[in-house]
Amino acid sequence: MHFRMSIQPPPFPATAAPLSPVSVLDGASALAIELSQASVTFGVGANSVPALAQTSLRIPEGAFVALVGPSGCGKSTILRLASGLVRPTTGVVIVGGREVSAKALRIGMAFQNPTMLPWLTIERNIMLPLKIVEPFRSRYARDKKGAFRDKAHALLAQVGLKGFASKFPWQLSGGMLQRANLCRALIHEPRLLLLDEPFGALDQFTREELWAILQDLWLAHRPTVLLVTHDLREAGFLASRICVMSARPGRIIDDSAIDFARPRSIAMTFEPGFVALNQRLRELIVDARSAVPGDH
Ligand SMILES: Nc1ncnc2c1ncn2[C@@H]1O[C@H](COP(=O)(O)OP(=O)(O)OP(=O)(O)O)[C@@H](O)[C@H]1O
Ligand SMILES: [Mg+2]
């Protein structure tokens, strides 16, 4: 079973001659996210909080990158930079080839704390992005009882919430809300998924089930995914690349390709190579946690 996502063709003119050897996708493939010396300081003067030290990060289209690091090191801040919710204090953030601005981008984001509107049913909460993001917005007005509703129900079934569409958020458990949160991030078929600890409040078994679903989704449609997690097994199971951050103000201290064959299985996470990866990451984070914060 797969999520249905449409793949947009690359932006080549229909009449293009055979591609020249120096196309934009050659060599360095197109970047979905590019942070160049981006830093974030919240507030000003004596009360300012340096959240993210100058950070450069290049994520090609279609990559699956996990971001791990001690609490408060700036992981969510990087996601907020990529979504345009936060502006960099210094440096530049480019997403989808454009410097991020207040303009809405077609991004799916699952926040660390599920933020459902309490007066809307789960189904309506999930369909909310369709009311906001073009090109769905115009179609939604005409067709909200049709295909979109079917899609919302299919997603709910896929995450084990069949039959909960007409419940209100306060009628669901924390774990159920997180699953609904994931459905809402996926409903508008984003090419970029920003996931902030999307499985944090789930029991281990449900979490592993959802890893498999997310892996299937990524293999089938190759959206770019930036996943923040504290679960190193989750990062190793899902990601093709793991970036480790130092303590606040965070910066990336390790950036490793994760080459285990796909599709990956839960059994793989107990094999020696995987366990060794976990141990290495764990040591990096333990060191980062105990390190004296850098000069700032
Ligand atoms: N709006 C804000 N105003 C002031 N400080 C903030 C704001 N948002 C975040 N911070 C601070 O910036 C730092 C980084 O926060 P961020 O939420 O990015 O951490 P995180 O790595 O996601 O942590 P966690 O793993 O606990 O979710 C924290 O010390 C936090 O207190
Ligand atoms: Mg966070």
Give residue 159's domain range: 114-190
Q: What is the pLDDT of residue 41?
A: 94
Q: What pTM was estimated for this model as a whole?
A: 0.84
Q: If DSSP codes are grouped into helix, strand and coil, which group holds residue 235?
A: helix
Number of domains in the chain: 1
pLDDT tier at 196, thresholds 50, 70, 90: very high
Residue among 52, 57, 71, 76 to mutate when testing ligand 1 (max atoms within 8 A of CB): 76
> 42 CB under 6 A from ligand 1?
yes
What's the gap in Å between 51 CA and the centre of ligand 1? 6
Distance, CA of 82 to CA of 93 (rounded, Å): 7
What's the gap in Å between 128 CA and the centre of ligand 1? 26
Structure confidence by residue, pLDDT tens digits, 4-35: 333 333 333 333 333 333 333 444 579 999 99
- Once rounded to an integer, what is the mean pLDDT over residues 107-123? 82
- Asked if residue 136 lies in contact with residue 129, where contact means CB atoms within 8 angstroms, the answer is yes
Q: What is the pLDDT of residue 141?
A: 72
In a domain, 171, yes or no: yes
Handedness of CA 197, 200, 201, 202 (dihedral sign): positive
* Statement: residue 256 has pLDDT above 50: yes
In a domain, 237, yes or no: no
In a domain, 174, yes or no: yes
Burial class for 191, CB neighbours closer than 10 Å (0-12, 13-18, 19+): buried
Q: Give the closest ligand to the alpha carbon of residue 248.
A: 1
In a domain, 16, yes or no: no
In a domain, 164, yes or no: yes
Higher pLDDT, 142 or 131: 131
Sheet with 98-99, strands from edge to edge, namely: 49-60, 31-42, 90-95, 98-99
